[in-house]
Amino acid sequence: MSNFMALELSNSITKPSIFFDATTFFRLNENLPTTTLLIPPISFASLKSKHRRKTRAAQSSPTTSPQASNIATAQVAEQVEVEVAEGYTMTQFCDKIIDVFMNEKPRAKEWRKLLVFREDWEKYRESFYNRCRTRADMEGDPTMKEKFTSLGRKVKKIDDEMERHSELLKEIQDNPTDVNALVARRRKDFTEEFFRHLNLLSEVYDSLEDRDAMARLGARCLSAVSAYDNTLEYVETLDTAQAKFDDILNSPSVDVACEKIKSLAKAKELDSSLVLLINSAWASAKESTTMKNEVWSTTLY
């Protein structure tokens, strides 16, 4: 598969099977505003005097508000955070993703194209959601606070949906000869959104062979779903026809039975399945010993 962000932000694909390559991501998004994190160097002298500075700060620092404390804690945590690419920490990387989702590509359809790289997205998923919550907690503007909260919630909903699709796809790939049985067991999961997911996967694969394989798999699944639905519909039609036929047979007289048949025909409910049942019953009755005896007795009389 193509690089996560290169899929939409660059015309060239440089690496297969990478979802979040942070270096590539930032290189492809140089036009976006960046925040440079400066981590001050730590010398042996600073470590030696650490306890002394900490003691003086504890004695002279005024009591801070909980919100200021949270912000300060977040800033310190960011300073000591390990880089995921040259010059960029996980926090900065998540901030860049947030910026893309909120400003560059704000539509859910575009998010799906980026979240389709499931294996690599899992490496950054929790950090992304945590960062959305942190940004919302640190934000003083109620409007922006709601935007960060809403973004995390909306992305999570799409993320969970795509995870279900990926799980179903894996089961199909693990059991390629049991698609019909799988459809019969999990028909409700073969939704329109699932087939859109397969189509999206076929679009982001690099090689034509992989695209064709995914297209064939989707066609096989669609065929199995169609066959299952048609069979189910036919069975339901037969059950309805059988109920009507039983009602006709339970008529107290031939005249009443004929009236019921006429009524069904007038209401356009005398479908082919019911006619087939009536013809089959007549053919079986005509060959029965009882019917032959009745006909012979009538003829003699």
- Per residue in 188-199, pLDDT (tens digit) is 999 999 999 999
Task: State which of 166, 185, 204 marks the end of a domain.
Answer: 166
Q: Is 212 within a domain?
A: no
- The per-residue pLDDT for 269 is 84
Choice among 23-32, 174-183, 262-271 with the minimum mean pLDDT: 23-32
Q: Provide the domain count of the chain.
A: 2
CA distances from 173 to 169, 206, 221, 255 (A): 6, 19, 11, 59
Which tops the pLDDT comparison, 59 or 171?
A: 171
Q: Is 261 within a domain?
A: yes
Task: State which of 150, 166, 182 marks the end of a domain.
Answer: 166
Which tops the pLDDT comparison, 4 or 189?
A: 189
Which residue carries 């650490």 as its tokens? Answer: 50
- Give the DSSP letter of residue 178: G
Task: State which of 166, 193, 209 marks the end of a domain.
Answer: 166
Query: Is residue 216 over pLDDT 90?
Result: yes
Residue type for 63, please? T
- The per-residue pLDDT for 147 is 94
| 2/124 same-domain check | yes
Closest CA to 245 of 214, 280, 274, 207: 274
Q: Is 186 within a domain?
A: no
**From start to end of the chain, where are the E strands?**
83-85, 88-89
Could you report the per-residue pLDDT of 96-129, keeping only the tens digit for each?
989 999 988 888 888 898 898 888 888 888 999 9
| 241/161 same-domain check | no
| 115/256 same-domain check | no
Q: Is 28 within a domain?
A: yes
Report the distance separating Cα 134 and Cα 141, nearest Å.
Answer: 14
Which tops the pLDDT comparison, 4 or 229?
A: 229
Number of helical (H) and strand (E) elements in the chain, helices listed first: 15, 2
Q: Is 45 within a domain?
A: no
- Cα dihedral across residues 258, 260, 261, 266: positive or negative: positive
Token pair in block for residue 276:
């087939």
Report the distance separating Cα 245 and Cα 278, nearest Å.
Answer: 7
Q: Is 244 within a domain?
A: yes
| 142/274 same-domain check | no
Which residue carries 């470590």 as its tokens? Answer: 47
Q: Is 52 within a domain?
A: no
Q: Is 60 within a domain?
A: no
Which residue carries 């693990």 as its tokens? Answer: 174
At 289, the pLDDT band (50, 70, 90 cuts) reads low
| 131/30 same-domain check | yes
Structural domain harbouring 13: 1-38+74-166
Long-range contacts of 160-168, Cβ-Cβ distance < 8 Å, separation of 24 or more: 161/193, 162/112, 162/115, 162/116, 162/118, 162/197, 163/118, 164/189, 165/193, 165/194, 165/197, 166/118, 166/197, 168/194
At 81, the pLDDT band (50, 70, 90 cuts) reads low
> Angle CA(274)–CA(276)–CA(282) in degrees, nearest 5?
105
CB count in 10 Å sphere of residue 138: 15
